[in-house]
Structure formats: structure tokens, C-alpha cells
Amino acid sequence: MSDVVVLSNVSKEYPLGKLVVPALKEVSLSIGAGEFVSIAGPSGSGKTTLLNLVGCVDTPTSGAVIVDGLDTARLSERDLTRLRLEKLGFIFQSFNLIAVLDTFQNVEFPLLLQGKQSRKERREVVSELLERVGLDKHHHHRPNELSGGQRQRVAIARALVTRPRIVLADEPTANLDTGTGGAIIDLMKSINETQGTTFIFSTHDARVMKHADRVIRLEDGRIVSSGDIAPNGAAGSRPELSVQEGPAPYLAGE
Amino acid sequence: MGRLLLIAARNLMQNRRRTALLSAAIVAVTMLLVLLGSLGNGIQATLLEAGTAMLTGHVNVGGFYKITSGMGSPILVEAERTLKDVRELVPESAQIVDRRRGFGKIVSESDTVQGALTGIDATNEDALRGVLRIVEGSLDSLGGEDLSILLFQKQAERLKVSVGDDVTLSSQVVRGQTNALKVRVGAIAKDMGLISIMSSYVSKNVLRDLYQLDPDTTGVIMVYLDDPDQAATVKAKLREGLLQRNHRLMEDEPDAFYHKFQQVAGEDWTGMKLDVTTWEDELANVQWTMKTFDTITSLLIGVLLVIVIIGVMNTMWITVRDRTREIGTLRAIGMGRLRVLVMFLLETVILSTVSALLGVSLGAAIAGLLNWLQIPVSPGFQIFLMSDTLRLVVAPYSLVMAVVVVPLLTTFGALFPASRAARLKPVTAMQHAG
């Protein structure tokens, strides 16, 4: 299994007035293609920062972030935008749909940005995806006409429509009730299994974590454990599985 | 682009109150732009029509005659020969007339008024007939051998005369002596602003007799063109042609003939020289007033546009603030900076274009309504306008300008907030608390 995400000694600090607040400290990890990985940890532990760095919407203070073999520090703003459009999908806690577009248009939007497909091809892809997420009857509903679970399904469809290698989900179930949240995770897992898409999602909900192949637990900006799930749903501590402390092997000589 | 347009349009619809307020401001400014422009055009057109009918041709060949080097009179000798030359040099002219020029007092038993006297043959004066509104008598009385005068209403009231009464003209003639001549009031016309205060029309023979001139003299040859914009070209052609035909010409001085007496008196020559001018030269004073009016109008419109631009900028700042998280999302899912910029600018383009079109339509409609209502203007304004009613001329080019300029400027106002939105780091935008 090749790695689609590699973080090597990544630190991220945020200036706060005269203070510097560290959000991530010397984090190194790698995530293989097709993994269904959960980033767990309490609020302020650095989960969102880590996802932002992998998603190329933020830059590390130090260290290297490799996405699909590309060192993001060496990419221009335009290349990073292209990388996000072609290789990454995003699912947000608050869904972040475009309020003035309907379900179909929201999902179709990344394809329009890509500009590669004909209208007919886009229609086919979007319709198929909406059917997959159970929204085939809601093409023309605007976000404010959908329930929270439906909105998150739209967001999932939007994240998947470009067939990205990696989907990043920041607390995708946080704004949903337990049942709907479970259904969303099931949907993500199903897509992961059938399409081989890598999912990296943050959560602090143990019931959500138990669906993950692997849980990377963060505390105070550091990885404290990484491994598969214990029967009670808690993450085990198996750093030898995929997490390397220190630089990733192939970066060691750089 | 289609989807960006859709987003922009729907966002405008979503923020109805904000959109309505800004749109109303743009509509109002565009409407004012059209109305003020139409007013300026109307005044210009009225002045051009009235001025070129009453005071000047589109191109004029005036004469200055000096018996001694210190004194000049507005007399063109060898009128027939000069008229023939002008006709040959400007075959494209619509009409050529000649008038005598003089200055004197009009004396009745009650009062005296003083001003310019213009000697006309009314049978040739179609343009003048078109602008003068005769309230008593007939302009034809200035077309024959009769010694007649046309007075304007206020002059007649002051002199307490009516058609058929006699008045006496008194004028200093070439050799310094004063001549007087009795003439009959042949017509009374409605006042026409400044001109009607300072001048009146007499039949040509009146000035011949008053100044004891040779029949082969006149004051000015006035050339009317189908296209007044060709006046400068025709003037240049006439100057060259008249010189080739051995006429003496004064230096080209773009000013009205009545401003040139002092200059002519100070020059060291005798005999006659021709002075070729355009209507713009002769109406230089009026043009100056028009330019002042245009400047004030432009300043006013400029201030209004600045206010609208600030309004647009302010609205865009609010829009960008409100939609910062949306910008972050769009950037995260792969929208480039340029597209974000275009998306925001499109909102302003749509809003300002629709509003400008509405403003232009309303402005043109109101201008039409005001024309239809024939709104009277105040006596003070009449002096300047040479008309007693307001007239607005909606020029198609000014409508097109308004529809282009207003959206361009407002879009320019939106550029700064929109580019700031485009430059936002995705993570900063996504973490925005608003």
C-alpha cells in the first residue's frame, strides 16, 4: 500500500499577539492509499490544523507535507489550488455548502471548476453520486431545504465528485444526531471500501472512531498513539503500524 | 462562468434589502447623469439654434472698415463681389444671408433703449423666422423698402409703443456725427433672453439710411451649413479662398465681432479687412457659460459617483465579510483566486448594469415628460437660455456613456474588496468567525 500522505517533522505555530501558540509539534506520520483513518483528540489538540495542512489550505511552520508524492512546500499557489481540485475532497463540520445553489449545482461545482467534462458527462456523474448518497429525489433542493444529514450527504457527494485520492473530513458528524452521524460514517466507509478512496477524518466521538481502520490520537499538538481500534472502541497504541517518529524514511536523505 | 453568474445573481437576490438600496443609489445617480446631461445638451441646442438664427451664421465673413487708423466700423464694402466669392467658395452651404450691423438708441416719447441694431431682409431669414415668436405685427414688415423695426416685448413695454407707432433711431456714424431716423414698429416678438435686452432688428434700408451707406455695403455675410460641425473646416477654406481672391483678412481671432472694435481701432491700417469666424467664435461668451455649466454639472456628477463608488465598496466589504467562510470553502475545493475575484465582481457588474439601464430609461422618460410639460424657466435663466421654456435633449451617445461608465466605475469600486477576498488564505477564510 503506497503512502498518499506523509508528514515529516511538521510543526505549526500561530502568532497570537506577542505570543506564539504551537498547534502541532514535530508530527510525522504516513497514511496509505485506501486507508480509513480517524484523527482523534480533545478540542485544541491540533486535529483541524493537521487536516488543514494535509488539505493544503495551510502551510506548516516547519517540516514537510507530502501529498500524493508532491512536496506541498514546493508548489505555487496555483499548483496547490489545482492539487486541491484534482486530488483532494473536503467535508466540513458545518457542511459549507453554497447556499444559493441547489443540491445538484453544489455537487457539480467542482467539476465546473475542473472544466474537463461535458454537460452530459457531468449530469451523469452527479446524478449517479446523488443516487449513491440517497439524494436522487433532492436535486433541486437548496441547502436550507435539507436536513443536517442530507446536507452532509451533499457535502460528501461534492467531495467525491472529482474522484479525489484523499477525502478530508473535519468532524463530519459533529453537527448531526447519533443516528444520522452513524449513517454518514457508514456511507463514507462504504465509499472507502468500494472506491478505494482514502478518508482522513477528525472526531472526538468514540462511536465514530470505531469505524476507522486506524486512529491517530493527538494531544497538545503531538501524536500520542496511532493504531487500530480496540474492541471497546478506544484506539490502541500501535505506533509501529504506520506512524514513524521523526522524518519519513524516504525524506531522510533530503 | 455561467455558474458564477448564477451565484452572483442569486446572492444579490438573497440580500434583497442591501441590493435594493445600492441599486436605488445607482439608479438615482444614473438618472441624474442623464437628466443633467440632457439639460446641458438642451441648453446647448437651444443656444445653438437661437444663437445661430439671431446672432451668427455657422460661418461668418464680417467686415471692418477704417477711414482713419484709429476708428473701425462693422462695414463690409463691395458686398456683391464678396457675396459672390463666398457663394463660390462654399457651394455646399444651405443658405447664405447678409446683415447690416449697427448700434444706437431707440427713442420714443416715453423712454430710450440702447443696443445693437441688426439690419435684415426678412424674406431671406428662414432661421430667424423659425426662432422668433412674433406676438404682434409681422416679420415681413422688415422685408421690403419700408423703414421698420422689430422690438422685443420688454423693449416695447419700456418705450410704450406698439405696432404701427413710430420711434426714432439715433446713432453715431462714421465721421463722428450723430444721425437720427424715424422708423415704424413693424413687429413685436416674445423676449429671447439676453439678445432681446441688448438688440433689435431693423429692415436693411434703415441702417443704410441711418449710416448713409453705399448700397453695395453690408455688415456680415452669414453662411449656414447642413452640418454645423463642419464650421471650422469651412472657415479655414474660406480664409484661404478669400486671400487667393485678393481680399484682406484680419488675423484669425476666435472671438465675437463686437469684442474686436478696440483691437481693430488699435491696428495701423485703413480700408477694409474681412474677419472670418465660426458660430463658436461669435458665441464665445455663451460657450464659456456653457462650459461653466458643464463643469459644475460634471463636478456634481463626480461627487455623486464618488458617493456611489464608496457605497459599492462598503457593500462589497460587508459582502466579503459575510461570505468569508464561503470564500474559504470555495478556495478549499479548488476555486482559484481569479475566479473568486470574478465571482465578486460579477455581483457588482450585474447590479450596476441593471441599475444603470433602469436609471438611463427613467432619466430618458423623465426628460421626455419635462419636454412635454413645457416647463417655463425663470426670467433670469431666460436671459442665459434665450428661451422661455426648459428643453432637454437626450443624446443617444450620453445614454450609452452612462450605461458603460456607471458600471465601470462601480466595478472599479468593488475591485479592492473583491481582490482582498481573492487573496485570502483558504485557512484564514475558513476560520472566519463571522
pLDDT at B433: 56
Residues in B closer than 8 angstroms to A86, CB to CB, are: 334
DSSP code for B215: T
pLDDT at B80: 94
Residue percentage of chain A with pLDDT more than 90: 31
Check CB contact under 8 Å for B3 and A105: yes
A161, A121 Cβ separation under 8 angstroms? no
Chain A nearest C-alpha distance from B6 (Å): 8
> Between A52, A81, A89, which is nearest B336 by CB?
A81
Q: Residue A254's pLDDT band (boundaries 50, 70, 90)?
A: very low
pLDDT at A233: 44
Chain B nearest C-alpha distance from A75 (Å): 14
CA distance linking residue B375 with residue B357, whole number of Å: 26
> Between A77, A99, A110, which is nearest B334 by CB?
A110
The CA-CA-CA angle for residues A204, A207, A211, to 5°, reads: 100
Pairing mode of beta strands B178-189, A166-170? unpaired
Surface of B (302-361) touching A: CB under 8 A: 325-326, 328-337, 339
Residue to mutate among B1, B11, B322, B333, with most A CBs inside 10 A, is B333
Check CB contact under 8 Å for B335 and A81: yes
Residues 6+ apart with CB under 8 A from B14: A99, A100
CA distance linking residue B166 with residue A129, whole number of Å: 101
Q: Residue A103's pLDDT band (boundaries 50, 70, 90)?
A: very high
> Between B3, B7, B333, which is nearest A84 by CB?
B333
- Grid coordinates in use for B324? 468569508
Q: Within an 8 Å CB–CB cutoff, is residue A16 touching chain B?
A: no
Domain locations along chain B:
2-51+285-430, 57-279
User: CA nearest A86 in B: which residue?
Assistant: B334
SS3 state at B153? helix
Check CB contact under 8 Å for A77 and B337: yes
A6, A248 Cβ separation under 8 angstroms? yes
In chain A, the domains with their CATH numbers are 3-251 (3.40.50.300)
pLDDT at A246: 37
Q: Residue A183's pLDDT band (boundaries 50, 70, 90)?
A: confident
CA distance linking residue B115 with residue B118, whole number of Å: 10
Residues 6+ apart with CB under 8 A from B107: B167, B168, B169, B170
- Grid coordinates in use for A162? 472529482
Burial profile B165-191: b = 16 or more Cβ within 10 angstroms, e = fewer: eebebbbeebeeeeeebebbbbbbbeb
SS3 state at B306? helix
Residues in A closer than 8 angstroms to B337, CB to CB, are: 77, 81
Residues in A closer than 8 angstroms to B335, CB to CB, are: 81, 85, 113
Check CB contact under 8 Å for A109 and B337: no
pLDDT at A53: 92
pLDDT at B242: 95
Mean pLDDT by 10 residues, chain B (434 residues): 78 81 88 88 81 89 85 88 95 93 92 92 88 90 88 93 94 79 93 81 91 90 92 94 93 87 85 92 79 84 85 82 83 88 87 93 93 83 74 87 88 85 82 61
In this model, does residue A155 exceed pLDDT 60? yes
Q: Within an 8 Å CB–CB cutoff, is residue A241 touching chain B?
A: no
A10, A223 Cβ separation under 8 angstroms? no
Give the A:B interface size as CB pairs under 8 Å: 74
pLDDT at A43: 85
pLDDT at A234: 47
pLDDT at A229: 54
- Grid coordinates in use for B433? 468567525
Residues 6+ apart with CB under 8 A from A176: A148, A149, A152, A184
In this model, does residue A238 exceed pLDDT 50? no
- Grid coordinates in use for A170? 473535519
SS3 state at B107? strand
Ramachandran assignment for A245, one of left (phi > 0), alpha (psi -120 to 50 degrees), beta (any other): beta
User: What are the strands of the beta sheet with A198-203, ordered from one edge?
Assistant: A88-91, A166-170, A198-203, A36-40, A214-219, A222-227
Residues 6+ apart with CB under 8 A from A21: A13, A14, A15
SS3 state at B160? coil
Check CB contact under 8 Å for A96 and B329: yes
Residues in B closer than 8 angstroms to A89, CB to CB, are: 333
> What ipTM describes this predicted complex?
0.82
User: CA nearest A159 in B: which residue?
Assistant: B333
List Cα–Cα distances, B234 to B57, B272, B277, B352, in angstroms.
12, 22, 10, 43
Residue by residue, what is the 3-state secondary structure of chain A? CCEEEEEEEEEEEEEECCEEEEEEEEEEEEEECCCEEEEECCCCCCHHHHHHHHCCCCCCCEEEEEECCEEHHHCCHHHHHHHHHHHEEEECCCCCCCCCCCHHHHHHHHHHHHCCCCHHHHHHHHHHHHHHCCCCCCCCCCHHHCCHHHHHHHHHHHHHCCCCCEEEEECCCCCCCHHHHHHHHHHHHHHHHHHCCEEEEEECCHHHHCCCCEEEEEECCEEEEEECECCCCCECCCCCCCCCCCCCHHHCCC
Q: Within an 8 Å CB–CB cutoff, is residue B423 touching chain A?
A: no
Chain A nearest C-alpha distance from B233 (Å): 57
> Between B7, B331, B337, which is nearest A101 by CB?
B7
Check CB contact under 8 Å for A90 and B425: no
pLDDT greater at residue B4 or residue A78: A78
Q: Within an 8 Å CB–CB cutoff, is residue B194 touching chain A?
A: no
A201, A191 Cβ separation under 8 angstroms? no
CA distance linking residue A159 with residue B329, whole number of Å: 11
CA distance linking residue A67 with residue A69, whole number of Å: 5
DSSP string, B244-276: HTT--B-----S-GGGSHHHHHHSS--EEEEEE
CA distance linking residue B132 with residue B125, whole number of Å: 11
What average pLDDT does the segment A40-48 reach?
88
List Cα–Cα distances, A87 to A50, A103, B388, B425, B430, in angstroms.
17, 22, 75, 19, 20
Residue to mutate among A75, A100, A104, with most B CBs inside 10 A, is A100
CA distance linking residue B390 with residue B372, whole number of Å: 10
pLDDT at B240: 95
CA neighbor of B422 nearest in space, from B306, B352, B314, B336 = B336
pLDDT at B155: 93
CA neighbor of A127 nearest in space, from A112, A138, A117, A142 = A138
CA distance linking residue B236 with residue B243, whole number of Å: 11
Residues in A closer than 8 angstroms to B330, CB to CB, are: 98
Which residue type occupies A171?
E
Check CB contact under 8 Å for A113 and B332: no
Check CB contact under 8 Å for A90 and B7: no
